[in-house]
Amino acid sequence: MGSMDGTVALVTGAASGLGQAVAAGLARDGALVVVVGRSPARAEEAVMSIRTLVPGALLEPLACDLSVQSSIRTAAAEFLSRHGRLDVLVNSAGVFRKDRHVTPDGLELTFATNVMAYFVLTNLLLDALKSAGATEAIPETANQHAEGARVGRIVNIASKYGNTKLNFDDLQTATGRYSYLRSTPPTMLARVLLTQEFAERLQGAGVVANAVHPGLVKNTSLLHDVGGPFRLLANTFGATAEEAADTALWLATSQETAGVSGKLWSKRKELPTPGMGSNPEARKRLWDACSQLAGLQ
């Protein structure tokens, strides 16, 4: 019997790489995993690839274009119509784009997918996560896991963000020359800040939120658009998706981590969050900016 039997998980970015390895790990542990893909076909494809890794997996496809807020709202409503609670939410989807694109909501695509999607989807599923914290998901026989089961868990894939700062006057790199090296690192800092803010707001609600720095991952579709030396570097020195998924799975399932919240992790160790990453003002300001852009005031 898996330690996650009877639990429900939702994983974005599950069509390839790290997200897929995390979804497969959760399914292997017995969770019912809702697999998010950009279109119905992509979600279905992701389900089929995970099935080849975990033949008995309990999987449900869910289509969602995470760069579009109306699509996130529809997907969340669809999830909630089928499930009363969510034990584990893994936000793993991300983009790394060479050129500046604007979404139907008028947002820059990298910011929309890497930051706003985490913010909006997590907020829409909060009640379901809180329900997981309030219900006993696992029969008493599985005593050793029963404790850990009573916590809703949010796991945000992020990254060490270096010396990056957020420019609150230009969160979406609209001024100056757009480059993925300018637009992407701030979104990783933003994910860490949002994780901290969710953790603080959820204190005492039976839900924990943590961020993970998986490092370079081989053969990730994330770098398709950028290609070149970056991809070569990742494919040469990167960890396999399975290795990179280890810490995310540990945060999602282990009893050890059921009481930990608001931290950034790598290789099961806590990482420091220097600079703006340890500034409560910055994360509140980002939260307000996101709330405004999402109309979630």
How far is residue 28's CA from residue 2's CA, in Å, rounded to a whole number?
7
Mean pLDDT calculated for residue range 214-225: 52
C-alpha to C-alpha distance for 147 and 133, rounded to whole angstroms: 10
Helix (H) or strand (E) holding 204: none
Minimal CA–CA distance to 184: which of 168, 162, 199? 162
What average pLDDT does this structure show over 169-192? 85
Residue 155 has pLDDT above 90, yes or no: yes
Is 65 a residue whose pLDDT tops 60?
yes
* DSSP character string of 142-187: GHHHHHHHTSEEEEEE----TT----TT-TT--SS---HHHHHHHH
Check whether 131 has a pLDDT greater than 90: yes
Output helix, strand, coil percentages for the chain, rounded to the nearest 5. 50, 15, 35
Give per-residue burial for 62-81: e unless 16+ CB within 10 Å, then b. Answer: bbbbbbbbebbeebbeebee
Quickly state the pLDDT bin for 226 (edges 50, 70, 90): very low
Residue with more model confidence, 235 or 119: 119
Look at 128-132, 206-210, 216-220, 223-227 and tell me which has the smallest mean pLDDT: 223-227
d(CA 221, CA 227): 10
178: annotated active-site residue: no
User: Both tokens of residue 160?
Assistant: 């060490």
Q: Rounded to an integer, what distance in angstroms lies between the CA atom of residue 34 and that of residue 62? A: 6
pLDDT at 215 exceeding the cut of 80? no
The catalytic position among 118, 161, 178, 180 is 180
Return mean pLDDT, the chain: 86
What pLDDT sits at residue 16? 81
**Whole-number pLDDT of residue 279:** 94
pLDDT exceeds 90 at position 98:
no
Residue 106: what pLDDT? 93
For the chain, give the number of residues.
297
Distance CA 154, CA 156 (A): 6
**What contacts 24+ positions apart, CB below 8 Å, involve 272-276?**
273/192, 273/196, 275/163, 275/164, 275/165, 276/164, 276/165, 276/166, 276/189, 276/193
pLDDT (mean) for 47-61? 96
**Sheet containing 8-11: order of strands:** 58-63, 32-37, 8-11, 88-91, 152-157, 207-212, 264-266, 269-271
pLDDT at 1: 53
For residue 241, pLDDT over 90 is answered with no
Question: Which pTM does this prediction carry?
Answer: 0.89
pLDDT digits (tens, 9 = 90+) for 258-268: 999 999 999 99
Quick one: tokens of 272? 């420091």
**pLDDT for the residue numbered 185:** 82
pLDDT higher than 50, residue 237: no
- Residue 187 amino acid letter: T
Q: Is a pLDDT exceeding 60 seen at residue 140?
A: no
Give tens-digit pLDDT for 275-284: 999 999 999 9
Amino acid, single-letter form, for residue 168: F
Among 91-95, 125-129, 217-221, 240-244, the range with the most confident prediction by mean pLDDT is 125-129
Confidence of residue 147 (pLDDT cuts 50, 70, 90): very low
